[in-house]
Amino acid sequence: MKHEKSLGKIGLKGLHHIFWDEPVSVLVEEALHRHEGCLAENGALVVETGAPSGRSPKDKYLVKTRDTGDVWWGSVNRPLAPEVWDRLMAYARSYLQGREVFVFNGFAGADPDHRLQVRVIAERAWHALFARTLFIVPKPDEVLHDPPDFTVLNVCGLKALDYKALGLNSGIFVVINFAERMILIGGTNYAGEIKKSIFTVLNYLLPKKGILPMHCSANVGKQGDTALFFGLSGTGKTTLSADPDRRLIGDDEHGWTNHGVFNFEGGCYAKCIKLSRENEPQIYNALRFGSVLENVILDDRRCPDFDDGSLTENTRATYPVAYIDNCVQEGMGGHPKNIFFLAADAFGVLPPIARLSSEQAMYHFLSGYTAKLAGTEAGVVEPTTTFSACFGAPFLVHHPFTYAQMLGEKMRQHDTRLWLVNTGWSGGGYGIGKRMKIGYTRALLSAALSGALDHVGYVPDPVFGLQVPQECPGVPADILQPRNTWTDKGAYDRAAADLARKFVENFKAFEDRVAPEVIQAGPRLEGIARAAS
């Protein structure tokens, strides 16, 4: 009766049964009973999302009310009228009548002073398991309030059939209502929408408290030195932060307060295409009972075939952060000493590592560059440049400059060093060169973290102006300068000039907000002209 009353506060009535904060074993049993998935040989629950197998950014909306006057409206944050929200909520309430639901209550945010109490209501058992894995499970003695700070209602089986009349892009909808403190998800099985919608909420609320929300992973060394790793999907953010020699704080979303950084989550959500025990042992060993594999193909012995991307390249693994042997259980760390911007440059022109000035840090944070490869999305037939402000534009609610300004202030206050790391191609672009060896990237990161790169010479990149080290322990000197790795130097010059122009064109959107010295910290036009000649 108590649980029915709680859900009745948001209009959910006539439910057949409520599974309330069930343990992992029950959620797995219920998922199997409902044929939502099967068990892999390693004990993980394997599910298929169907289409879409990733986020639907064109189907994300914010309800426009008096509470959203400071929202960065545009292609990222699409406004939705309150009456459309009411219609969708009415559909959801009617849809769930007579059905069973699974409820998870927990937290987003490891810092007790700044966490958000979250409730996830889902019609799928595996979505509740996902929420239990990705958010923070309350301790037995912790008291939860009702209603929570934010509620996620996931009716994945419901599509808006009259979406055109409602002014929606499709039958899929991911809607955030700050006035109602609710999120409504429909028409998609992709579980990432659950966590990313809460990340979007925190991106709106935390800056108002002077806290910087960040789309980054974080770890800490034996000397207590915290490091952050920013990067878009496929750049190695999760892989590189899972370092056997350092303790993992979290793999995706963090906040930076006046006391240090804290993880938003209690689990990890790793892209696992081509995952191997050799290259990513910590992630590989974390996949066991209690974890979830999305769209991963099993062989005849039910062993995951991580090389098989026949369903999607965006195969995913979800597991508790505690499954990483040397994790930071409390999910908190000190102020970062080093920050790494990761870019999977498919054009092979950026150096494998470079040191950035504070102005360059602002420029590249606002740019948020990486490259998408052919085949990763429908219609992508060759590598394409991708710029995502603050390395997380789809989740920003305020203008990107708000977050960039906060990052710059915190870096100056805590004397944080910043590096740009190319985890992409060397010796040529995609199809000609080769992907940077992960062993080299780890060696470069280790040298930066240990201070070994503080004692070497640097030379500026002629086009991008970045400070490139001339040597690094464990890394061949010839790969540090990308032009040296290309057989056709003229082809490198043309590729570098082309990428630089795209940086300059993209940054025009921010020139009215930033200081002149930040604009000048971008690619050098004279270098572009020389490279193109």
Pick the CATH number of 336-532 from 3.10.20.30, 3.30.1330.60, 3.90.228.20, 3.30.1490.20: 3.90.228.20
Q: Which of 129, 135, 113 lies closest to 34, judged by CA?
A: 129
Annotated catalytic residue, options 78, 215, 247, 524: 215
34 catalytic, yes or no? Answer: no
Token representation of residue 185: 């998800």
111 catalytic, yes or no? Answer: no
| Domain ranges, ordered by start, for the chain | 2-37+59-209, 336-532
DSSP bridge partners of 291: 289
pLDDT in tens, 67-105: 899 999 999 999 999 999 999 999 999 999 999 999 999
pLDDT of residue 382: 64
238 catalytic, yes or no? Answer: yes
337 catalytic, yes or no? Answer: no
Query: What is the three-state SS of 375-420?
Result: CCCCCCCCCEEEECHHHCHHHCCCCHHHHHHHHHHHHHHHCCEEEE
Token representation of residue 432: 């000609």
Whether residue 505 has pLDDT greater than 90: yes
Q: Spell 380-417 as b/e; 16+ CB within 10 A means b.
A: eeebebbbbbbbbbbbbbbbbbbbbbbbbebbeeeebb
pLDDT of residue 146: 95
Helix orientation angle between 489-507 and 358-367, rounded to the nearest 10 degrees: 80
pLDDT in tens, 509-520: 999 999 999 999
Residues across the chain: 533
pLDDT-derived band at 483, boundaries 50, 70, 90: very high
pLDDT in tens, 201-220: 999 999 999 999 999 999 99
233 catalytic, yes or no? Answer: yes
Task: Please say whether the beta carbons of 396 and 212 come within 8 A.
Answer: no
Annotated catalytic residue, options 200, 233, 423, 485: 233
CA distance 390 to 264: 17
Residue 453 per-residue DSSP state: G
243 catalytic, yes or no? Answer: no
Token representation of residue 384: 């394409």
Annotated catalytic residue, options 196, 247, 372, 410: 196
Q: Spell 171-185 as b/e; 16+ CB within 10 A means b.
A: bbbbbbbbebbbbbb
Annotated catalytic residue, options 252, 345, 461, 493: 252
Q: Which of 403, 281, 261, 426 lies closest to 338, judged by CA?
A: 261
Single pTM value for the model: 0.94
Q: Spell 28-53 as b/e; 16+ CB within 10 A means b.
A: bebbeeeebbeebebebbbbbbeebb
Which superfamily does CATH assign the domain made up of 2-37+59-209 to?
Phosphoenolpyruvate Carboxykinase, domain 1 (3.40.449.10)
114 catalytic, yes or no? Answer: no
